Amino acid sequence: MDIATLPKVELHVHLDCSLSYRLVEQLRPGIREQEYRDLFIAPFPSQDLNEYIDTASHGIELMQDRTGLQAVTLDLFEQLARDQVIYAEIRFAPLEHLRQGMSPEAVVETVLEAMNAAQTQYGIRAGLILCTLRHYAAKQSMQTAQLVIKYHDQGVVAFDIASDEAHYPVDNHVQAFQIVHEAGIPCTAHAGEARGPESVWETLQDFQPQRLGHGVRSIEDPSLMRYLKEHRIFLEVCPTSNIQTQVFPTIADHPINALFRYGIPLCINTDGRTLSDTTLTKEYLLIRDAFDWTLEDFIQTNLDALDAAFLADHVREELKAQFIYLVSSL
């Protein structure tokens, strides 16, 4: 089985965590590769999720103007193309990119323009997910939610909440999720990563997402496992990231295989391609070698990903047909 050539779907990748050395060298001339690795790749292991997240600050610094935002977006599509990705949902928090005077609207429009150009250039379809962050005030979450609503018909496909679930409650963000739901727009939410099942239950109750970013600590609660399976709550699983942030000590301890065999729909993702120094191909090989996954298992998770993707049904069916054709051609 040649994992490298397998067509793939990625639903959980952070734009500001995925800057290649080639790109950083362009935006920050003179940086050496070792300095790039020291600054842009998170420690392995990181002390915790916060140390991992803090590493993204170096990428965010380079994404404060149109040039940086466009270049980072195009660079990610080049990486996706090398990874044989046919559909991706890319996420970022637009309010993190206002330090040089860009408006939130200009930030979103710049990324969408670059995505449109890249989709044509690389033949990869993609959607944009806008994130609020756990430490944001209610006003910032509402502002992000309003951006989701404003640009939903222009390439923004969903609303997300990311960052430190362990130290910030949900209260500031409930209304933002409510207005997105009222607009008929889907949501995903980071949960069950830095905190256990109680965080997942809270997130499901208060935010009502169709998908969970990570969600892997649901394995600790059999009743939650049953709920996820019965309600087809989809998990965006990022194995290397979870090991790196010490959610689990080794890949052998990771619950992705148990979750998958139990019947909870999920797919494999990179989270931060640079922060975790990974690709989807690397993630697939890791899972194959740890759990003896077959080609059929990877085909199933990719088809499940397309089922869970925030897509119009006719586009979903086109992508499924493309995926099946490409697999049959291997």
Active site residues: 193
Q: Which has the closest alpha carbon to 25: 35, 13, 15, 38?
A: 35
Chain position carrying tokens 């109680």: 198
Contact assessment for residue 153 and residue 127, using Cβ atoms and an 8 Å cutoff: no
Q: Which has the closest alpha carbon to 45: 193, 190, 242, 215?
A: 242
The three state secondary structure string of 84-113 is: CEEEEEEEECHHHCCCCCCCHHHHHHHHHH
Instruction: Round to whole Å and give the CA distance between 135 and 199.
Output: 15
User: In the chain, where does DSSP find H-type helix?
Assistant: 21-27, 33-40, 49-54, 57-61, 66-82, 104-122, 138-150, 174-182, 197-207, 222-230, 239-244, 256-262, 280-291, 295-308, 313-328
Instruction: Round to whole Å and give the CA distance between 30 and 45.
Output: 28
Instruction: Round to whole Å and give the CA distance between 216 and 235.
Output: 8
